[in-house]
Amino acid sequence: MNDTRAVRTLADEALAYASRGIKIFPLWHCVDGTCQCADRENCGSPGKHPRTRNGVSGASHNEQAVSSWWAMWPDANIGLAAGANGLAIVDVDPRHGGDASLEFLCTWASRRGVDLTDTYTVRTGSGGLHLYYRQPFGGIKTAPRSFGSDGIDTRGRGGYVVAPPSVHACGGIYDVIHRRGLAPWPECLTYLMEPEPTTGAAAQPAPARPPAGPIAADRMTRRLQAWALSGYRRELEALPGIGEGGRNDALNRAAYRAGLRLDAGLLPGHTATTITADLHNATLGWRNFGVRERAATIRSGLDGARGKASKLILPGWATGWTPGTTGGAR
């Protein structure tokens, strides 16, 4: 990499952010994939953690401060504060299943009239996405797997992202791919987020908690439906790769787990018939496993789950939730 061009680009871009009133701060950088911090090869967040003592809490748009930072560390990557800049950012990491999770979230949102991708978007250096939104009243929390989905985190209060044109440890450049204006935070996503605990006066300001009773229960059910649909999709995607020796058991387990979710009312829009069709389609490439044999295996799994919604193992954040008495459509 041309060091002169990299120094000029990062320093100039850092000042450009500051001149627009955007609060930033310097991050460590990598050379040949190795972070230049003291931990070097043992660094757990190469090229992504703060160079300054105060980190994101010291982010600034003061041009003198920014100039001073990049004069000291001309190769520094750029950290952009999320909540402090009025931003709520969805961080998608395809290396941990983020693409499939985003596809599900986009489907979830589109059914509610929202296009999640119609906003300012950055392609990360590793090939992921940062979807930028205007934060809602009170902001959002910074948390991993915020929607119960793999490979998707949120950056809000107290959080930050690596900003363009920073350089990832793999050598990829963070780049803006959609320069649309900032869309407002999609409220439909709030339904999928785990409610935040309150810890007294020291807690950060948070949005109003949902009230107890039917409204809170409805929010929990919606989040569980998203969790169940995500798990169902992952199992369908895994079936084509199952080897011959384990296909019957894998198909029976997939049908049984889908049946439990269905019986608990967590697969909206699905019935035993649609699940059967999904499982058949997922296993079309299986040789030496006929249609009748597959149908019998699927039926066995679904029948075995009937009336057993209470056996569904729920995530820890759903403690106390119980399935509806009517279960899903059969």
User: Looking at residues 236-253, what average pLDDT do you find?
Assistant: 89
Given the DSSP bridges, would you call strands 87-92 and 121-123 parallel, antiparallel or unpaired?
unpaired
For residue 41, with 0-12 CB atoms within 10 Å meaning exposed, 13-18 middle and 19 or more buried, which class applies?
exposed
Domain boundaries, the chain: 3-194, 214-318
pTM of the model: 0.62
CA 182 remoteness from chain centre: 19
Tokens of 1: 């990499």
Answer whether residue 245 shows pLDDT above 60: yes
CA 283 to CA 287: how far, in whole Å? 9
- pLDDT for residue 129: 97
- Report helix, strand or coil for 132: strand
Residues 6+ apart with CB under 8 A from 282: 236, 237, 239, 240
**Average pLDDT over the chain, rounded to whole?**
84
- Model confidence pLDDT, tens digit, residues 13-66: 999 999 999 999 999 999 999 999 999 889 999 999 999 999 999 999 999 999
User: What pLDDT shows up at residue 146?
Assistant: 80
Question: What six digits make up the tokens of 12?
Answer: 């100039």
Other Cβ atoms closer than 10 A to 199 = 8
Q: Is the pLDDT of residue 280 over 90?
A: no
Q: Is the predicted pLDDT of residue 82 greater than 80, yes or no?
A: yes
Mean pLDDT of 259-278: 87
> Is residue 304's pLDDT more than 60?
yes
Which of 88, 83, 14, 82 has the alpha carbon at shortest distance from 51? 14
Tens digits of residue pLDDT in 248-265: 999 999 999 999 998 888
Q: Say yes or no to pLDDT of 316 above 80.
A: no
* From 35-39, 107-111, 123-127, 208-212, the region with the lowest mean pLDDT: 208-212
Predicted local confidence at residue 66, as pLDDT: 97
Residues 6 or more apart in contact with residue 85 via CB below 8 angstroms: 22, 23
Q: What is the mean pLDDT of residues 133-142?
A: 88
pLDDT class for 213, splitting at 50, 70, 90?
very low
| Contact present, 32 and 96 (Cβ < 8 Å) | no
